[in-house]
Chain A
């Protein structure tokens, strides 16, 4: 699995992490090209079902990133998200799904450097895990079969 290039789904909140990614871009900071970004209004918008759906469709990893606690544009969206993610992570790990498959981070609009570090870290850890095997829907794994880029 040395040259395995994982595809990682990334949910970025509009107000912080997406702007952080933008800053990384305009600052010409290098980071691995393995992520596919979906912009969401808030990390609280991310239904755990979205994450499960990504794993089911064969993404090797999922990253959700939002504003730091206290910085939420909607005051408490990321606090609510934090509770949801804690429960989701517990359930998935208990079932035997690798902890590194689903990861979370706080990245503010000013943290372009941190964004690139987070992406590098997530990509590296998912590379070690290899392609997803658990929970993947065999007949519908467009991503793992290479039909979708």
Chain B
């Protein structure tokens, strides 16, 4: 950890950073929280480990919305954060010159949703880690788990644990922890009958309370006014009618098609542990296979849905 702090201090001076977005220890065990550092002296508070699940690219947009001159921002970036930053730059949301991407090797982060599920309402006071196993200690209980049971689903199928584009890289590049085919869950699910699939999605989305945490956590949901909030015209009902809710989820996926970097921020933010990634992952697969595009890998390629190819397949059109 000292290496991180030391190097950040150096980068701070070298790049004349005015703001650094990173992680610090949270108030609860196994939770890290974003920190905004304006002077190199505060760099001692920085950490980076498997608890740092937030996608920090989201905060670049807040810096932009702050008004006034945009400061020079350094950002600690796992593979997915870095891809989100790249995608935001490609979309013209942030100037490349104003952001310094500081890559860190990511060996998977834990999903607070999964942790919540495992604890089912109980609180932990402490934890111990032994290789791949972890023991969660609380009042009157001990829970021993495999670390992979707590890792985010995105991490378990991650192809880019290291930033594909960066200005600095601290540490040795990590190997992806996901050895499986990243679309296994999607392919398995697709073998079910259409009615079974529909029932699954209806059941999942019926849990939704329309808190929009998934939207607010997503680095790509930066519309000034979201279509669900609009009243003229009113696109969807604002209640928790299932049909309206499903439309919200479909459109959210359509809007992030070809832009989603599968960081899992939406799934981690969901207080009801809805399977938000499934539909998005299928669309991501289609974008990759049909248009040959993967979001956030370089600064030059135009996003799939912002461009076209005259020879795109059109087998579905009469």
Interface residues of A (CB under 8 A from B): 48-49, 52-53, 56, 69-70, 76, 79-80, 82-98, 103-106, 118, 121, 134-140
How many A-B contacts at CB < 8 Å in the complex? 107
Q: How far is the CA of A139 from the CA of B241 in the complex (A)?
A: 9
> In the assembled complex, which residues on chain B have CB atoms less than 8 Å from the CB atom of A92?
250
Q: How many residues of B sit at the interface, in one of the four size bands?
A: 35 or more
| Cβ contacts under 8 Å, A79 to chain B | 308-310, 312
A96 touches B250 (CB 8 A): no
**Contact A94 to B243, CB < 8 A, known contacts A82-B308, A89-B316, A104-B317:** no
Give a binary string over B196-230; 1 marks a CB under 8 Å from any A CB, 0 the rest. Answer: 11111100000000000000000000000001000
A52 and B251 contact, CB distance less than 8 A = yes
**A88 near B314 (CB under 8 angstroms)?**
no
Q: Is the interface of A mostly helix, strand, loop or mixed?
A: helix
Among B247, B286, B290, B317: residue with most chain A CB under 10 A: B317
B268 located at the interface, meaning its Cβ lies under 8 Å from any Cβ of chain A in the complex = no
With a CB–CB cut-off of 8 A, which chain A residues contact B241? 137, 139
Evaluate contact between A49 and B244: CB separation under 8 angstroms. Answer: no
Residues on A with C-beta less than 8 A from B193 are 96
Contact of A97 with B198 at beta-carbon distance under 8 Å, contacts A53-B235, A56-B243, A105-B318 already known: yes
Interface residues of B in 84-116 (CB under 8 A from A): none
Do residues B318 and A121 form an inter-chain contact, with CB atoms below 8 A? Answer: yes
Task: Say which residue of A52, A86, A105 sits within 8 Å of B250 (CB atoms).
Answer: A52
Q: What are 26 A-B pairs at a CB distance below 8 A? A: A48-B251, A52-B250, A56-B244, A69-B310, A82-B314, A84-B254, A86-B286, A86-B290, A86-B312, A86-B314, A87-B286, A90-B286, A91-B254, A93-B194, A95-B201, A96-B193, A96-B194, A96-B197, A96-B200, A103-B318, A104-B316, A121-B318, A135-B243, A135-B246, A137-B243, A139-B241
Q: Which residues of A contact B235 (CB under 8 A)?
A: 49, 53
Query: Does B250 lie within 8 Å of A95, measured CB to CB?
Result: yes
Contacts of A69 in B (CB 8 A): 310, 314
By a CB distance below 8 angstroms, the chain A residues around B237 are: 137, 140
Pairwise interchain contact B282-A94, C-beta atoms closer than 8 A: yes
